[in-house]
Amino acid sequence: MTAQTRADLASATRIVVKVGSSSISGEASWRIPMIVQALSAAHRRGAEVILVSSGAIATGIPFLALEARPTDLATQQAAAAVGQNVLVFRYQEALRPFGIVAGQVLLTTGDLENATSRSNARRAMDRLLSLRILPIVNENDTVATQEIRFGDNDRLAALVAQLVGADALVLLSDVESLYTKPPTDPAARPIDVIGADSDLAGLEFGASVVNSVGTGGAATKVSAARMAAGSGIGVLVTSADLVGKALEGSPVGTWFEPTTQG
What's the pLDDT tens digit per position in 33-65? Answer: 999 999 999 999 999 999 999 999 999 999 999
Tens digits of pLDDT across the chain (262 residues): 889 999 999 999 999 999 999 899 989 999 999 999 999 999 999 999 999 999 999 999 999 998 888 888 889 899 999 999 999 999 999 999 999 999 999 998 778 888 999 999 999 999 999 999 999 999 888 876 655 555 568 999 999 999 999 999 999 988 899 988 877 888 888 899 999 878 776 666 654 333 434 445 778 888 899 999 999 999 999 999 999 999 999 999 999 999 986 5
- Kindly give, in sequence order, each residue whose CB lies less than 8 Å from that of residue 143, ignoring residues fewer than 6 positions away: 77, 108
Using CB atoms within 10 Å of the CB of residue 133, give its burial: 0 to 12 exposed, 13 to 18 middle, 19+ buried.
middle
Cβ atoms of 24 and 58 closer than 8 Å: no
Residue list for the binding site? 18, 54, 141, 153, 173-174
CATH class of 6-256: alpha beta
DSSP 78: H
Q: Measured between alpha carbons, how far is residue 108 from residues 82, 111, 113, 155, 192 in Å? A: 18, 5, 9, 11, 32
For residue 225, the one-letter residue type is A
DSSP 11: T
Annotated binding site for ATP: 18, 173-174
Cα(128)–Cα(100) distance, integer angstroms: 12
Annotation: binding site for substrate: 54, 141, 153
Nearest CA to 39 among 27, 51, 30, 31?
A: 51
Is the pTM of the predicted complex or chain greater than 0.85? Answer: yes
- The domain locations on the chain are 6-256
